[in-house]
Amino acid sequence: MSIQMSRRDIVRGLIGGAAGLTMAPMSFANLGPPPGMIALRYNENPYGPSPGALKAAGEAAALGAYYADDLQEPLLRTIATRHDVALENMVLSSGSNEALQAAFVAWGKKGKIVLPSLTYSDHLDYAQRMGVELVRVPLADDLSIDLDRIAAAVSDDVSLVYICNPNNPTGHTLDGDALRDFCRTVGKRAVVMIDEAYNEITDRPDYTSMIDLVREGENVIVMRTFSKIFGMAGMRVGYGIGRPDVAKTIADYVMAWPNGVGLAAAQACYTDDKFIQFSRSKIFEGRKMVVDTFLDNGIKPLPSQANFVFADIGRNGGKFQGQMAEHGILIRGRFDQYPDYIRVSMGRIEDIKIFRTVFTELINA
């Protein structure tokens, strides 16, 4: 309550006036879900941005006429200090997707890229259009990432291995030590890129993160984003932490410049542990509600340590997605290799209560 009220107060007092932004509904008609719809589809955090991020964003917006170069290094230094790495280990991007695309193009020029057959894919089509050759490795029977199969696929002509942990859309999280052993072994033959977009939501963020390998000088690059736990998907700020030569390679291929409003907001909220814990608690509460909804209807979802849940509903997920949309709930239900699966993101608690009612009615219709 207090966090949300202060957020509204900040919006009224700081995003208006001198910032030149209004809160008239029509001004933001294309942001968020369509009117009357509940969005549980893109793994967003609707509780963000934090009050501090909104305050900083309003102040930066008032200076939006100027380039934001001077905001980049302070943010990177703040992140580097928290993780005990050097500025040379850091690379900044417009959302983590920009850096993922840059990495795929950079190493795609040197060889093939190995990745799980079902994983985050928004950067993959772009990479293939750029001529990058992808080697897709099947998941294990329980839909976890099969590290042994992936290691076996890393031949001499492979330049990069991509692992999303927790994996999207499954929500499965690899054991930290098993992944460390994998990175140390495979890193001798190719760069290992670990996409940790959902790391802050995992049960043990430090254990599941591979940033400690960066400090050890391993051939690893870790990608992070402000789009998930920080609730800044529309502000487009991401970063990577890797060995200096690896970080520089990505930086050389990054084209877009992060925007000043996003950088200011990111700087303000990165160390806001109160808001991070608030977001985690809401995500955990919502995730349990979604899991319980599935279980109450005889559906066993995959275990998730992210802000979404993946489940086989026993019928075509794409069609069910359409049925849910007709009842005002937007989910994901089109996965080519797994046509009977749907993915449900965490929204506000009141929205998930509505999801529970609608889902139960439709699945039993």
In this prediction, residue 144 has a pLDDT band, given cuts at 50, 70 and 90, of: very high
Over residues 59-74, the mean pLDDT reads 94
Question: Rounded to two decimals, what is the model's pTM?
Answer: 0.90
287 and 230: one domain? no
Over residues 197-209, the mean pLDDT reads 97
Domain boundary pick from 269, 288, 313? 269
Secondary structure (H, E, C), 160-221: EEEEECCCCCCCCCCCHHHHHHHHHHHCCCCEEEEECCCHHHCCCHHHHCCHHHHHCCCCEE
Over residues 133-161, the mean pLDDT reads 98
Domain boundary pick from 228, 245, 269? 269
70 and 44: one domain? no
42 and 67: one domain? no
* Chain position carrying tokens 């992070």: 224
300 and 258: one domain? no
131 and 225: one domain? yes
In this prediction, residue 29 has a pLDDT band, given cuts at 50, 70 and 90, of: low
pLDDT of residue 105: 96
- pLDDT score of 19 more than 70: no
- β-pairing verdict for 238-242 and 220-225: antiparallel
191 and 291: one domain? no
Nearest Cα neighbor of 238 from 93, 101, 104, 103 is: 93
Secondary structure (H, E, C), 51-119: HHHHHHHHHHHCCCCCCCHHHHHHHHHHHHHHHCCCHHHEEEECHHHHHHHHHHHHHHCCCEEEEECCC
Beta bridge partners of 342: 311
Q: DSSP letter for 300, please.
A: -
Helix (H, G, I), strand (E, B) or coil at 62: coil
- pLDDT score of 28 more than 80: no
Domain containing residue 40: 2-14+34-49+272-363
Q: Give tens-digit pLDDT for 160-191.
A: 999 999 999 999 999 999 999 999 999 999 99
Domain boundary pick from 269, 298, 315? 269
Number of independent structural domains in the chain: 2
pLDDT of residue 240: 98
CATH code of 298's domain? 3.90.1150.10
Q: Give tens-digit pLDDT for 283-297.
A: 999 999 999 999 999
CATH code of 252's domain? 3.40.640.10
In this prediction, residue 221 has a pLDDT band, given cuts at 50, 70 and 90, of: very high
pLDDT of residue 258: 80
- pLDDT score of 279 more than 50: yes
- pLDDT score of 324 more than 90: yes
Question: Does 68 map to a domain?
Answer: yes
265 and 276: one domain? no
